[in-house]
Structure 1
Amino acid sequence: MEILAFGVQADEKPLIEKAFAGRLDVRCLDVFLGEDTAPIAAGYEIVSSNVNADLSGRVLRTLAEGGTRMIAQRSTGFNNIDLDVARELELTVSRVSSYSPFSVAEFAWTLAMAVNRSIVRASNRTRDFDFRLNGLMGRDMRGRTVGVFGTGKIGEAFTRIARGFGMNLLGWDVTPNPACVDLGMKYVDKDTLFVESDLISLHVPLLDATRHIIDGAALRLMKDDAILVNSSRGGLVDTDALVDELRAGRFAGVGLDVYEAEAGLFFTDRSLEAVEDDTLARLITFPNVVVTSHQAYYTHDAVGQIVDATLANVRDYLAGRRSENTLSPSP
C-alpha cells in the first residue's frame, strides 16, 4: 500500500521517507491538500495532510469518492477539518496530539526577544553598514511581568523559560497547571492578565470559544508598551483590530508566527507576486512587528516526533486500533 502525503516540506521529506522505509510506501507531494488537489488522491486509501490543508466537507467528499478511507494529519491542531462530515462519511481521521513543546516555547521566546531588542531591524541596518543604535533600545525582561495565556505543555515550557529570566508570572487557563503554580505563577482572569502584563504569549488552541479572543477590546486593555507574541493559531487574534492599534502607535513589539488567513499563503513562495492580502501587507510594514511563516514547531526533534506519531496512527488504522490521536470516528 502506498500513502499519499500532501504539503511536505523539503526538510520534512527525508524524515518521512526514513520513518516509513521498510514499513509502508509513501509518496510525498509539496502541493497542499484542497479542492483543486483532492482529485490527485483518487485510488489512495490513506492520505496525510498538514495543518494548512483544506479539509472542508467538499474536500472530504471528493477524497471519499476517490476511495480514501483514512486521513492522517501531521499536526496537533485540527480546526481545518470538518469532523462532522468525516464521521458522516465514516472516514478515519487522526492527528498528532503532542510533540516537543520546547520547539514552540523556545520559538515564542525567540520572537519576543527579536521584537524587544529589534534584532531584525539591527541586522538589516548592519547589512547596509549602518551601525547606529537609534531606535534599537529594548528592555530587560528580569523583574517584568509575563502573561502566559494558556498553560498546557507549551505554556508550561514557556513559563519555565520566563522563570529563568526572573520574571513575575501571570497565567490564564480554564484549568490551572500545578507545575506552573509550583514555578510561582499566579492565575488571574483574562482582563487582569491583559492589563498587568509587559509580555503576553498565546498558547491556547483555536476553538469557537477562542476565535478572536484577542479582539479590539482585549488589545485596548494591554499596556501601550506591551509585547504580544502568538505562536499558537492565527485565528486567536483579530488582525484588523491589531493593525488599528499598531497604527495608533501602540505596543513595543508584536511577534507573530501564525496569521488567521495563512492557509494557502504560508509555506509557499510569493516573492515574485503582488500581495493581495492588504491586512498582512500592512502588518508586515510596521517596524515593531516580526512575522514568520508558522515555523515554531519546525525543529528536527519536533518534526521527527510528528512523523513517528503519524506512522503510528497509520499502523493503528491498518490494525483496526484507535488511540488518543483518533478524531473520527467518534469515541
Structure 2
Amino acid sequence: MKPSGAGQGLGPAGRLAIDRTPLLLVNPLSFRASRGLAERAIALATAHGAEVECVDGSPEATSAAVERILARRQRHVIVLAGDGTVHALIERLAERPAGSWLPDLLVLPGGRSNVTAADLLPGFDALGGLRSGLEQLRAGVWDGSIVERSVLRIDQPGLPLRHGFLFGGATVDTIIRRAHAYRAGGSGLLRTGHLSTPWFALGLAARALQGRAGLTCPRLTVRADGLGDLDGRVSLLLASTLLHRRGLLDPYAERGTGGLRVTAVAAGAPRFWRSLPRLVRGRYSAAMNRANGYLSGRCDRLEVLGLAGYVLDGEKFDVDPARPVVVSAGPALRFFSR
C-alpha cells in the first residue's frame, strides 16, 4: 500500500480530495480502552500527527463520527474499541449506496471479545499495533494487505436491515443475553473482569450437564442453500463471514461453497456434548452430518423461521418469529489485514 498525495483539498472537478492523515477512532469507555489504554493510545496517535475522534459507544455518536470521516474522506481510520462500537461503525458504512467512497479500517482490540480484530489482525497487540500502523502509514508501506471483506446482511420484512460479522441465534442468543445481565448484575473480577464471560460460560456448561441450565431450544425452520434444512428444536445457530484464522474457535465445517459460514445443531443431535470440542474447532466427524442434526458449512443464503431474537456482534435484536430472517453476504468493506 503506497499513499499518493497527502492532506486535504479540492481535487479534479472540484471534488474533495482524500485526506491521508491517519485518524484514530477510539471509545474510551470500551472494556480494555477504559483501563488506561485509551489515554495512552490518544497520546501515541497525537505524537505521530494523527487526528483523534472519541465516541462513547452509542450508535448515534459513532454515526456522527463516521459522517465527519466521510465528509473529509479520511483514508486511513484506526479503530480502538469493542465489538459494539465496531458494529456501529460497520453498520453505518454498510448502509452507504453501492459504489460510495469508503475508508480503509485498521481494527485494534479495545473491547472484551474483539472477534473482528482477532480475525483481521490475529495476534495484534492494541498499543503495539497502533504504533506499528502509524509508523508504517507515515512511511507509506504496510507489511500486510488491504482486503475487502463482506459483512453479513440480516433482513426481515418490516424491520431495518442490519449488518455485522457474527450472527447468533437459538441458545447462543439466550446465553449472550444472560452473560450481559450477569456482568451488569454485580461487581468484582468474576463479574466485570477479563474472566467474567468464561466464568459465566463454565458455570452454565456445568449446569447444562446436570440438566439445570434452564435453556430452551426454540422450534425453528433453518434453510441453508446448498447445505440442506433443519426443522425442529435447534440448540445452536451461528453465521459469519469471519475466517477465524487463529485460535480455538472456528465452529464451521469445510463443506459447501458461498460467502456465508453457517452452523446449526438440532436439540436432539446425538453425542452433542462429546462432539462439542470437535465442533468448536471445525473438525467435524463423518457422523456430524445433517441426518444426525448437524448442519454446517458454506452457503450463500440462510433463512430462519421462528426466531424471536438474535445477537449480532454481541448486540441484541428482537424480531418477529412469524416472519423469516434472511442472512446473506452484504457489502464489502476495506480492512487492513495480515
Q: How does the TM-score come out when normalised to structure 2?
A: 0.32
* Structure with the higher fraction of residues in strand conformation: 2
* Structure with the higher fraction of residues in helix conformation: 1
